[in-house]
Amino acid sequence: MEQDAHFKKHLTTRNPSSRLKELELFAEVIPDGVIIVDKGLVIEAVNESGWSLLGLPEQAIGRTLDDCVKSDALNGYLRSKSQSDPLEFTSPVQKDSTLELRVFEVDNDSKVLIVRDITTQNRLLTMRQSFVANVSHELRTPLTVVKGYLETINDPSSPIDLRLALIDKLTAPVARMESLVQDLLLLTQLESNPVPPEMDEINMAGLMVDASNEVQGLLKKQDSLVINKETDAKIKGIASELTSVCINLISNAIRYSPDGAQITVSWSQTQHGKARLTVKDEGLGIAKEHLDRITERFYRVDMKDSRTRGGTGLGLAIVKHVLRRHNSELKVESKLNMGSLFYCDFDVTT
């Protein structure tokens, strides 16, 4: 807004004959669209951003704005008496984009219109609101359970054996909340902390074994978890973060596999000289429409046959951010009822 105020001040301190010429260079360095119109909304001058944002025709100068831009919201706003609040309207060029318009009165004969693309800003706001709603939803269920148990425990009329039995039942919902908070903190650290200039040499085969030991509690007797070490290749990285990648990928495979399935974790070398971490399951598979979204926070693929053994909905989001910090990305191959293959490639140390 400070930029807008400066712009308006510059306009009002010059005489009309020299104003447009002097503003032509000034307006071109502004990323927002700048359109100068007279009191009849006839276009007098436009900067380059204004042409592209509104999709103005080549012969727009000298024509009215509503004749050049087909937008009922925009033209209705400009013809209205009150223009103190900015207008948000759908881009006439890209229907999935949102523009914001602000109007500045220069004098009785002309106005300056400032147009900016706020699509990304609105998307970030929506993501933030969705994130808060999701966190609230994920915490509400275990909190409700804990509250119910505590009410019974604190009720003097409840039998003593029942009250004692409920104490053990507090463990699961409290552990779920603790896990959620830990994952949220980890995501925040991954997004805010810079990548260290020097990383350690990592023995991924060893990390895979450590991760498999940590997820043993998710396995049932009929399940099998196989570790394949096909190379001794080492990579540069952060051990704790890469361990998190292994744990999240393996636990995700277990949760979405039927009882008695085999989960295979492999460390191999690709034809292009990179090292590849692979997690393969015999699970329910993922429909094509979900593949591009599974690394979003709290995005879950609802499958009636999947195991209900916890999970915060943040695991693959953590994997995505860790891999990005290690110059890698998560790839997924999957078909319904035929299992899934998750893999990521790393540069090998020389």
**Residue 228 pLDDT:** 92
Numbered ranges of CATH 3.30.450.20 in the chain = 2-117
Nearest to residue 297, comparing CAs of 324, 318, 311?
318
Q: For residue 326, what pLDDT is reported? A: 93
* Class of residue 332 by CB neighbours under 10 A (exposed 0-12, middle 13-18, buried 19+): middle
pLDDT of the residue at 236: 93
Are the C-beta atoms of residues 106 and 98 closer than 8 Å to each other?
no
* Cα–Cα separations (whole angstroms), residue 131 to 117, 186, 344: 23, 15, 27
Among 338, 331, 220, CA closest to 284? 338
Architecture label for domain 197-346: 2-Layer Sandwich (3.30)
Write down the pLDDT at residue 9: 46
N residues, the chain: 350
CA distances from 77 to 26, 114, 130 (A): 26, 14, 30
DSSP one-letter string for 211-251: HHHHTGGG--TT-EEEEEE-----EEE-HHHHHHHHHHHHH
Q: What is 2-117's CATH number, 3.30.420.10, 3.40.1350.10, 2.70.70.10, 3.30.450.20?
A: 3.30.450.20
Q: Which candidate, 247, 258, 259, places its Cα nearest to that of 285?
A: 258
pLDDT of 301: 67
Phi-psi region of 109 (alpha: psi -120 to 50; beta: other; left: phi over 0): alpha
Taking Cα atoms as reference points, which of 317, 313, 301 lies closest to residue 133? 313
∠ CA 345-179-284, rounded to 5°? 55
Q: Which run of H or of E encompasses 265?
A: strand 262-269
Burial of 48 (0-12, 13-18, 19+ CB in 10 A): middle
Per-residue pLDDT of the chain (350 residues; tens, 9 = 90+): 555 554 444 444 445 445 555 555 566 667 888 888 888 889 988 888 888 899 999 888 999 998 899 888 998 898 888 888 899 999 998 888 999 999 988 777 888 899 999 988 888 787 777 777 777 877 888 888 899 989 989 988 889 889 888 888 888 888 888 888 888 888 888 888 888 888 899 999 899 999 998 888 888 878 889 999 999 899 999 999 999 999 999 988 888 888 888 899 999 999 888 999 999 988 888 878 778 888 887 776 665 544 444 566 788 999 999 999 999 999 999 888 788 999 999 999 86
| Sequence ranges of the chain with CATH classification 3.30.565.10 | 197-346
Question: For position 201, what pLDDT does the model report?
Answer: 93
The vertex-25 CA angle with 21 and 31, nearest 5°, equals 130
* Backbone phi and psi for residue 279, each to the nearest 5 degrees, phi listed first: -125, 115
Dihedral sign of CA atoms 40, 41, 42, 47 in order: positive
| pLDDT score of 304 | 52
pTM: predicted TM-score of the whole model, two decimal places: 0.62
